């Protein structure tokens, strides 16, 4: 991903990253957890987990997504759970969410 990289001064090269919002889709939703599963609906093998930070962002520079993809599932601080219904093959979550798809959100 090339977000958050100043010209010729790459500080971070994220492999998976994105932002999470509350249901109004503008207010950050902090401190949740993002899971990546091998099967839909939080089943199969748990491939990886990422924490959602205090300002609603998640990120890693590690290549945690397998070539066959994974199903993202998110748990908000309220205990609410949302699962993406299709496999994610890329960790550039905001390349679709907030552009062609709704922003990522949970309460």
Transcribe 34-89 into DSSP letters.
EEEEEETTTEEEEEEEEE--TTSEEEESS--S-TT-BEEEEE-TTS-EEE-SS-B-
The answer to the question of residue 5 being in a domain is no
The answer to the question of residue 25 being in a domain is yes
The answer to the question of residue 6 being in a domain is no
- Domain of residue 71: give its range: 16-95
* Pair 24, 102: CB distance under 8 Å: no
The answer to the question of residue 104 being in a domain is no
The answer to the question of residue 57 being in a domain is yes
pLDDT by 10s per residue, the chain, length 107: 656 565 555 566 788 999 999 999 999 999 999 999 999 999 999 999 999 999 999 999 899 999 999 999 999 999 999 999 999 998 989 888 888 899 999 98
Say how many domains are in the chain: 1
The answer to the question of residue 52 being in a domain is yes
The answer to the question of residue 11 being in a domain is no
The answer to the question of residue 42 being in a domain is yes
């Amino acid at each position: 991903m090339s977000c958050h990289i100043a010209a010729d001064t790459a500080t971070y090269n994220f492999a998976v990253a994105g932002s999470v919002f509350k249901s109004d889709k503008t207010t950050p939703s902090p401190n949740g957890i993002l899971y990546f599963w091998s099967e839909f609906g939080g089943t199969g093998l748990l491939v990886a987990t990422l924490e959602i930070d205090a300002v609603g962002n998640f990120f890693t520079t590690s290549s945690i997504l397998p070539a066959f993809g994974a199903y993202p599932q998110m748990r908000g601080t309220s205990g609410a759970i949302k699962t993406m219904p299709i496999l994610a093959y890329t960790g550039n979550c905001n390349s679709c969410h907030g552009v062609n798809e709704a922003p990522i959100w949970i309460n």
